């Protein structure tokens, strides 16, 4: 049975995505927090507003598109490590907010700087033309997968 060219390309692409994901996750795992913890902690830091100074677990669940149980599990791990704390919402005491600690903000900043240093190395290696082409292709990929939802 003959496999068509599109199937072969799809297989090559799948292998490349797997390898890329593995390399990226390995780079992130040099720190004491997991990639899922990084994502949640980064979201808390980016999403905090000046009034509440934290985020509700339900908002994290919605934003990250993961189950409430998954959010709770990740928050518990981050809290145990001293990266986040739970606070009562000053506007509604029934609500518990999750806020990054100074330790949490520091680890995210360190990991963010290392990440961008790696991307800078990639852009230096690819050059301007190929970097712009990669960005263009990744944007097209993102559009495709968003439409498929």
Q: What is the mean pLDDT of residues 90-115?
A: 91
| Residue 7 in domain | no
Count of domains observed in the chain: 1
pLDDT at 2: 63
Find out whether 59 and 22 touch, Cβ atoms under 8 Å: no
Domain assignment of residue 17, yes or no: no
- Report the 10 Å Cβ neighbour count for 83: 25
131 occurs within a structural domain? yes
CATH value at residue 63: 1.10.10.10
pLDDT, tens digit (0-9, with 9 covering 90-100), for 57-81: 999 999 999 999 999 999 999 999 9
Give me the pLDDT at residue 50, please: 45
On whether residue 5 sits in a domain, the answer given is no
Residue 47's pLDDT band, with cuts at 50, 70 and 90, is confident
What is the domain extent for residue 60? 32-148
Mean pLDDT for 81-102 is 92
pLDDT band at 105 (very low <50, low <70, confident <90, very high): very high
In a 10 Å sphere around its CB, with 0-12 CB exposed, 13-18 middle and 19+ buried, how is residue 131 labelled? middle
Within a domain: residue 24? no
Above 80 in pLDDT, residue 24? no
**pLDDT of 30:** 66
> Residue 97: inside a domain, yes or no?
yes
Judge whether residue 86 has pLDDT over 90. yes
User: What is the pLDDT, as a whole number, of residue 35?
Assistant: 84
Residue 91 lies in a domain: yes
DSSP state of 3: P
């Amino acid at each position: 049975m003959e496999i068509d060219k599109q199937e072969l390309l799809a297989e090559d692409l799948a292998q490349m995505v797997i390898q890329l994901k593995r390399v990226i996750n390995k780079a992130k795992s040099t720190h004491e927090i997991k990639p899922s913890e990084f994502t949640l902690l980064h979201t808390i830091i980016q999403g905090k507003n000046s009034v509440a100074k934290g985020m509700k677990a339900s908002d994290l669940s919605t934003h990250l598109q993961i189950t409430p149980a998954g959010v709770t599990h990740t928050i518990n791990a981050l809290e145990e490590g001293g990266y986040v704390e739970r606070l009562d919402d000053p506007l509604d005491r029934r609500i518990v907010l999750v806020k990054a600690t100074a330790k949490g903000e520091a680890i995210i900043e360190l990991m963010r700087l290392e990440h961008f240093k790696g991307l800078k190395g990639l852009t230096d290696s690819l050059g301007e033309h190929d970097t712009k082409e990669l960005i263009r292709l990744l944007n097209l990929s993102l559009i495709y997968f968003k439409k498929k939802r």
